[in-house]
Chains A and B, each alone.
Chain A
Amino acid sequence: MAGARPAGICGSRGGAATFHRVKTGNKPTELLRADLLEPHDLAALGGIEFVARQIVEGFIAGLHRSPHRGFSVEFAEHRMYQPGDDLRHIDWRVFGRSDRYYIKQFEEETNLRAYLLVDVSASMEWTSDADRIPPKLWYAKQLAASLALLLLRQGDSVGLIGFDHEVRSRVAPRGGRRHWYELVRTVGALHGAGRTEAHTALRDVAGRLRRRGLIILLSDLLVDAETTRLALRFLRHRGHEVLVFHLLDPGERELPGMGDARFVDPESGEELPVSVADLRSEYRDAVVEALLEWRDALVPQAVDYVVVETDQPMALALRAYLHKRERLG
């Protein structure tokens, strides 16, 4: 199969698992799932639509080997048993009353509304290594598209908001496979600019979601922490489930290797002269402390907080989503 495909890519049709040939050092060529590829390799595969689909396909293929049994469904009606039906679905109570075999029929849940909030501020366009690590916004777009596809496949309705200091684009939540293409188009058109004010988008969502829903925030969280946390608590207070993906470029964990430098905030233009050698360890401390503060502030509010580094495969983020979704039933 691999030999018949263009170099580097193996594909599938009709939702079958998709594998990609990846050169790993001196070792023989191996086949890997797209959701386990490094973002740098993923970026070489193609556009958002293709990549997101490959990620989701790969991810779901992995789920088949897991103990997960499927999604929640809701009882719809009874019908007569016919040979070949699964005996586990026979309603034995009805059999006791009527001495006939009836099969329970179920209906998929379609009433979960999810909103994907994508931070499109200027800081999201930054990457510490343009050759190896994609920008945070690229990562957020891929993740958003993948999450949307997963949600839609489960029958949920998905909406999207792109924001910086205000809402830049909005897609109302709907279900159906076709809706995904609209979401992908919208996501693909997003580009980073402006300052970040996540609470604006969060309040916007809060005003639009009347039923309990799932809000997934994809941001580097270089925002005003207090107002953002307040907005997240407000959402939780309204009964919404919240999942925060804190996107972190690996270059943000560690200061670059240089002597003196004037560091400039791409959003505010603020400049800070620093002797890197003097602050390197302290900066490392500050990053860890900031992450711990986010976690300590959100986890007690039952907000799922996931730090995703942009050189990590998508599967980790998707797994976090999956756990969340399982808890929602």
Chain B
Amino acid sequence: MGLLTPAFLVLGAAIAVPLILHLFQRHQGPRVVFPALRYLRRAETEHARRIKLRQILLMLLRVTALALLALAASRPFIRAAGASHQPTAVAIVLDNSMSTSVVTGDVRLLDELKSRALETLEAAEPEDVFWLIRAGSPWEPAWPGDARTTAARVAETEASSAAADLRAAVERARAVLDAGAGARAAEIHLLSDLQASNLMGASEPAQNAPPVVAWVTRAQPPANIAVADIDVGGGVAPIAGQRSTVAALLTGTGTTDSVSVRMALDGRVIAAATAPVGSATILPFPSRATGFVGGWVEKDPDALRPDDRRWFATRVGPPPTVAIGGPMGLVDEALAVLESAGRIRRAALRDAEVALLPAGRGIEGLPPAQSVVIVAPDSLLELQAVNRRLGAAGIRWTLDPPAGSGVARFDPATLGDGPLRTLDQVRLSSVFRLTPPGATADTVLLRLNDGTPWAVRGIRPGGGRFVLLGSPLSEQATTLPTTPALLPLLDRLLGPWIAARSAVTEAAPGDEIALPGGATSVIGPDSVAEPAMAGFRLGAAPGLYRVLADDSVLAIIAVNSPALESDLRRADVRRLREAFPAVDIVTADRPEEWGRRIFQQRVGREIWRPLALIALLLLVLEALVAATGARRAALRVRHAPPVPPRTATPRETQAAGG
């Protein structure tokens, strides 16, 4: 049972009046001279018990009648016994993430979820308000509207390629309801496949959180194999004129151990293979001229189509020309290896695209547009000189003495899963603190395990880039020169990290990215050009996004769904409750059950009328009980032997023959 106007329950306090009168009444009235006191005492003595019982009965009748009247005034109704409900604000969290594209039987899961949402909207009352939150399009706002407009938005909802964060979506729903529900009841309708990867972690326990009605689909997730990752050149950008490889990782579950994959570059299929599930398949990347290259790797279709194809983009270019500002021991030898492999070319210091400068020596003689890699000095004694050079070159970062002693290591979280992973074995015995100039937009490329930056990248006033390293690359300062990690580190350092062009080649749908300077437009997979702007937000569709400066391509960005979105395993109801502690969660797995569960403040038949009627009857009964004595006395007089009657008027007496 529920109450439509619970504030009126305060009227129930009125029951205190008869209670107090009954319990504390002491007959402290005026003093009345009355000679027939013996009749009064007699009445009280003879009827004391009955009077007491009658008083209790009257008190109970009055209390009950008042309580019923107060209850009737608060307009009670029987919950879930009718089609209507009290005004409700509903936030519909509709999961349109990639995983809801899965088809089970003949039905796409997203269509099932949309059907439930439309059922909610069909059951709406005119006073209801709705917000539609597309969990798979988190960059979209929460769409407010009435049932009709919200139904239209639900109908036009399509699956995105993004992942859903159900916790974040529910918290958004909670926020919009807090702000906009007003006096209405509030509910969150969670329509999702409850993918386990979308329910990581747990929300903070919320107080007075609106209830969540969650749909639990009964269809079991089908087997799904996805192209989960693509690695071009082992993490090293292809060199123009050189062949490379593309590693495609297939993950998932299924009855087959291997599937057919194809790879296309610039729209043309150039390779195919039968790839085992659970491991990477190497596909050949042909020799290409300098420029950006985009392509995809695709497998045979299954129940979830969007993850059968994965896009990639890379920049094919000539190896950078590198000069070194002074002898650096093993680093010189590593550069020779990279040169022999065609990854770099040697050049004079002033002509090189990238200058590698131990202790920043010689930076003052380089043009401001030249990119430099500044390595920390071997000795503390050079520290002030290095900082002077940095300042003179317009680099506002400073090197400061280390805060403590001991061996430092790299923070594994900044190393990624590529070739730099081996840096986690490196020990750093000499580390300078890289102190920023305050608020800065410079990028920290690598951090130590205490969180302090070790490698930072920025732009010099003249347009050249700089990378500042916090340790010298000598054997005395670090084990780095003697580990296999040195080569990939130098390759990154002298290649993509220092390159003038955008290093962003992969993003998730809806990500907001910084476009390279000079960008004028972005052409998406649908070939529609959008003007470039700071903080450009990518679309929801997967594919290749080309960043243009007029007619020339500045970058190609491959937009793919997060690999975890291909894992269709679902969370159970227990996990759902764990994700939202202290929240009233009601689940439904059948459409008819959904119809019953939603609108928990359902107004069944209002029962104030029968309650008021009962209260009225009780009051009538109270009046009858109160008048019982009078009637009884009248009956006795009627049936008693005649006592001389009263004479009404003198006229009557005279007429009687007096």
Contacts and interface: CB of A to CB of B under 8 A. Distances in A.
Interface of A: 22, 24, 32-33, 35-38, 59, 62, 65-66, 122-123, 126, 220, 222, 250, 252, 255-256, 258-268, 270-275, 277-292, 295-296, 306-309, 311-313, 315-316, 319-320
B396 to A, nearest CB: 92
A297 B643 CA distance: 13
Given A66-B657, A316-B653, A292 B640 contact: yes
Nearest to B34: A263
Nearest to A311: B646
B29 interface: yes
A306 B376 CA distance: 133
B67 to A, nearest CB: 22
27 contacts: A33-B658, A59-B658, A256-B34, A260-B29, A263-B33, A266-B35, A272-B41, A273-B26, A274-B40, A279-B44, A281-B628, A281-B630, A282-B47, A282-B51, A282-B629, A282-B633, A285-B43, A285-B47, A285-B632, A286-B46, A287-B39, A295-B641, A312-B647, A313-B647, A315-B653, A316-B647, A316-B658
Q: Which 6 A-B pairs have the closest CB atoms?
A: A281-B629, A260-B29, A123-B35, A273-B27, A261-B29, A286-B43
A277 B626 contact: yes
B37 interface: yes
B574 interface: no
B632 A307 contact: no
Contact of B32 (A37, A263, A283, A320): A263
Contacts of B637: 288
A291 B643 contact: yes
A256 B34 CA distance: 10
Given A62-B658, A262-B28, A290-B39, 13 more contacts: A24-B651, A32-B654, A35-B658, A256-B34, A259-B29, A260-B28, A262-B31, A272-B37, A282-B44, A284-B629, A288-B637, A289-B42, A313-B653
Nearest to A307: B644
B44 A274 contact: yes
B268 interface: no
B218 interface: no
A220 B40 CA distance: 15
Given A252-B35, A283-B40, A38 B650 contact: yes
A36 B626 contact: no
Contact of A290 (B28, B42, B631, B641): B42
Contact of A286 (B42, B55, B657): B42
Given A259-B29, A273-B28, A292-B640, A279 B40 contact: yes
Contacts of B33: 126, 263-264, 266
B379 interface: no
B340 interface: no
A308 B644 contact: yes
Chain A's interface: helix, strand, loop or mixed, by majority?
A: mixed
Contacts, number: 169
Given A36-B658, A280-B629, A261 B27 contact: yes
Contacts of B39: 252, 283, 286-287, 290
Interface in B594-636: 626-633, 636
B643 A126 contact: no
Given A252-B35, A292-B643, A258 B30 contact: yes
Interface residues of B, number: 47
B54 interface: yes
B630 A280 contact: yes
Nearest to B646: A309
B630 A264 contact: no
B36 interface: yes
B25 interface: yes
Nearest to B41: A272
Interface of B: 25-44, 46-47, 51, 54-55, 626-633, 636-637, 640-641, 643-644, 646-647, 650-651, 653-654, 657-658
Contact of B37 (A32, A270, A309): A270
Contacts of B43: 279, 282-283, 285-286
Contacts of B641: 292, 295-296
A284 B44 contact: no
A277 B625 CA distance: 12
A258 B29 contact: yes
A262 B46 contact: no
B643 A264 contact: no
A71 to B, nearest CB: 19
Contacts of B47: 279, 282, 285
Contacts of A22: 650
Nearest to A223: B38
Nearest to A292: B640
A304 to B, nearest CB: 11
Contacts of B36: 222, 252, 287
Contacts of B657: 62, 65-66
A255 B51 CA distance: 16
A126 B37 CA distance: 12
Nearest to B637: A288
A308 to B, nearest CB: 7
A292 B637 CA distance: 10
A125 B26 CA distance: 30
B633 A222 contact: no
A62 B655 CA distance: 11
B30 A319 contact: no
A275 B28 CA distance: 9
Contacts of A308: 644
B643 A275 contact: no
Given A35-B658, A267-B35, A319-B658, A285 B636 contact: yes
B449 to A, nearest CB: 86
A278 B42 CA distance: 14
Contacts of A37: 650
A252 B39 CA distance: 9
Nearest to B31: A262
Contact of A250 (B41, B46, B646): B646
B40 A278 contact: no
A288 B43 CA distance: 11
Contacts of B34: 126, 256, 263-266
A263 B41 CA distance: 10
A126 B34 CA distance: 8
B640 A286 contact: no
Contacts of A262: 27-32
Contacts of B650: 22, 32, 36-38, 313
A62 to B, nearest CB: 5
A256 B35 contact: no
Given A66-B657, A261-B30, A261-B32, A288 B636 contact: yes
Given A279-B51, A280-B629, A286-B46, A36 B653 contact: yes
B25 A282 contact: no
Given A272-B41, A295-B643, A260 B658 contact: no
B41 to A, nearest CB: 6
Contact of B25 (A272, A275, A288): A275
